[in-house]
Amino acid sequence: MKSIWYKTNEDAKKKMFAFADEYKDFISKGKTEREAVDVSVALVEKAGFKNLASVEKLSPGDKVYAVNMNKDIVAFVIGKKHLTEGLNIVGAHIDSPRLDLKQNPLYEDHELALLDTHYYGGVKKYQWVATPMALHGVVCKTDGSKVNIVIGEEDSDPVVGISDLLIHLSSDQMKKTGATVVEGEDLNVLVGSIPDTSEEKDAVKKAVLDLLKDKYGIEERDFISAEIEVVPAGKARDYGLDRSLIMGYGHDDRVCAFTSLKAVMDVKDPERTTCAILVDKEEVGSVGATGMHSAFFANTIMELLDKSDRYCEMRLRRTLANSKMLSSDVAAGFDPNYPAVNELKNTAFMGYGLVLTKFTGRGGKGGASDANPEFIAEVRKALDDNEVQFQTAEIGKVDQGGGGTIAYICANYNMQVLDAGIAVQNMHAPWEVVSKADVYEAYLGYKAFLKDIK
Ligand code: MN
Ligand code: MN
């Protein structure tokens, strides 16, 4: 097998690059789960999808979406077949590793004002220092109002960041292992150094609070009910001299979220009802009201049944069990700098197309979602019939590590689920890399799946 670039003509390349531009815009604007939902709602509404809550009766061809707590979105196109025959689902997550502000974050130390954080998801902590960062999030006030915050993205904005120890004084630090070379409690964000000279104590902290009050109308106590995420500052960009790749924050898993959503938007008049679900909290175990374990998904399917003709528990369970799903999450892309972690016959390569991963898990497939070969054969056929290039892979050599996705949670509904995503380099680093060829091929693959799976 060769990379997609070998068979790409100028026309196809133009399409790929235009699609990549749209995607770059999507991740540059959607850097948190909330922002990703907002950008997704704008996309689907522009394509004629209606909020499910505003629709009374559903008929084939109808396009609807539902949002859960501003952090999940699910979009459907109602098919010609009855819902109980099952849906074709593509599911991705829209949370990404980052640093979250603590509830009581702001403090002063030797006339510098800092924000204390707790990292979110699996990160190599040493990667998140000495690099420009932005603050994204919401502050919810007791009067019911909400303040949106984005600082560090405009050219005229300041950025913030976390210091690293100078090499000149690092002889002790350099002897530590990678896991402890930068410690979690040392991920403190520098936000100010000018004092409010009328204050005796914590004058710099006071000045930062004054600034927050002036610009955003928030008080120190409002941090208690805030969610502010510290993320890499700046837009996604073309990567490589030939512009064949994209460097951006949060490809895992917004690259599969975008391609999944676009696929549902672009498959017209499907036989089976199509669905894209984009969820929060995958990076911390899919827990809580906005993770895949939440009742939100099943509740929304109940609403669909109710609005199509009638709902009952048995019909809900039939609908879920007859559904088929691609868990669209990223795969580890081969990195020539670190070839030793892979077994090359079962490795995802950049530019080789959609990655099918039969099983996830670690150490003897522990915690794996393991797709049935009957179902993989169906997916293969849909991809082959639509001339979509795919590759197969697992996450690294046996006993080297591993990972998981939302696949096993959906499989608990008794539906067929296969992991299918896009190869990423630098996964979970502040700046990750994907191939434009893979982004476009995944979109084509998801479309083929939604359209053709019976
Ligand atoms: Mn992921
Ligand atoms: Mn991840």
Q: How would DSSP label each residue in 38-68?
A: HHHHHHHHHTT-EEGGG-S---TT-EEEEEE
CA 251 to ligand 2 centroid distance, Å: 9
Q: Which of 238, 234, 253 is nearest to 424 (CA)?
A: 253
**Based on the domain organization, do 106 and 92 belong to the same domain?**
no
Whether residue 354 contacts residue 420, with contact meaning beta carbons closer than 8 Å, is answered with: yes
Q: Which ligand is nearest to the CA of 253?
A: 1
Q: Are residues 216 and 150 in the same domain?
A: yes
| Ligand nearest the Cα atom of residue 93 | 1
Q: What is the CA(337)–ligand 2 centre distance, in A?
A: 21
Q: Do the beta carbons of residue 86 and residue 145 sit within 8 Å?
A: no
The 10s digit of each residue's pLDDT in 368-390 is 999 999 999 999 999 999 999 99
Tell me: do 58 and 181 sit in the same domain: no
How many A from CA of 283 to the centre of ligand 1? 7
CA of 189 to the centre of ligand 2 (A): 23
Is residue 242 in some structural domain?
no
From the CA of 122, which ligand is nearest?
Answer: 2
Based on the structure, what is the number of domains in the chain?
Answer: 2
Mark which of 232, 262, 296 sits at the end of a domain: 232
**281 and 380 fall within a common domain:** yes
Whether residues 271 and 419 share a domain: the answer is yes
174 shares its domain with 301: no
Distance 427 CA to ligand 1 centre (A): 9
Do 266 and 374 share a domain, yes or no? Answer: yes
Q: 415 and 316 share a domain?
A: yes
Decide if 244 is inside a domain: no
Residues facing 72 on adjacent strands: 68
**Alpha carbon of 254 to ligand 2 centroid (Å):** 10
Cα 33 to middle of ligand 1, angstroms: 13
Predicted TM-score (pTM) of this structure:
0.98
The pLDDT of residue 131: 98
From the CA of 255, the nearest ligand is: 1
107 touches 190 (CB < 8 A): no
| Residue of 330, 260, 254 lying closest to 33 (CA atoms) | 254
Same domain, yes or no: 84 and 106: no
Q: What pLDDT is stored for residue 115 in this prediction?
A: 98
Distance 201 CA to ligand 1 centre (A): 45
Both structure tokens of 429? 């680093």
Mark whether 275 and 350 lie in a shared domain: yes
- Going from the Cα of 36 to the center of ligand 1, the distance in angstroms, rounded, reads 15
> Residue 237 falls within a domain, yes or no?
no
Q: Which residues of 433-452 are buried (b: 16+ CB within 10 A; e: fewer)?
A: bbbbbbbbbbbbbbbbbbbb
Give me the CATH number covering residue 149: 2.30.250.10
d(CA 405, ligand 1 centre) in Å = 6
Q: What SS3 class is residue 192?
A: strand
- 298 shares its domain with 418: yes
Calpha distance 281→71 (Å, rounded)? 9
Shortest-distance ligand to the CA of residue 405: 1
What's the gap in Å between 122 CA and the centre of ligand 2?
A: 7
Would you state the pLDDT for residue 323?
98
Please tell me the number of the ligand nearest to residue 427's CA.
2
What domain range includes position 165? 98-232
pLDDT of residue 402: 86
Whether residue 254 lies inside any domain: the answer is yes
Which tens digits make up the pLDDT trace of 45-86? Answer: 999 999 999 999 999 999 999 999 999 999 999 999 999 999
Q: With a cut of 70, which residues of the chain have pLDDT below it?
A: none
Q: Evaluate whether 274 touches 56 at the Cβ level (below 8 Å).
A: no
Give me the residue label for tokens 């997916």: 379
CA angle 272, 414, 363 (to 5 degrees): 120
> What distance in Å separates the CA atoms of residue 257 and residue 277, rounded to the nearest whole number?
8
For residue 325, is it within any domain?
yes
Residues 306 and 219 in one domain: no
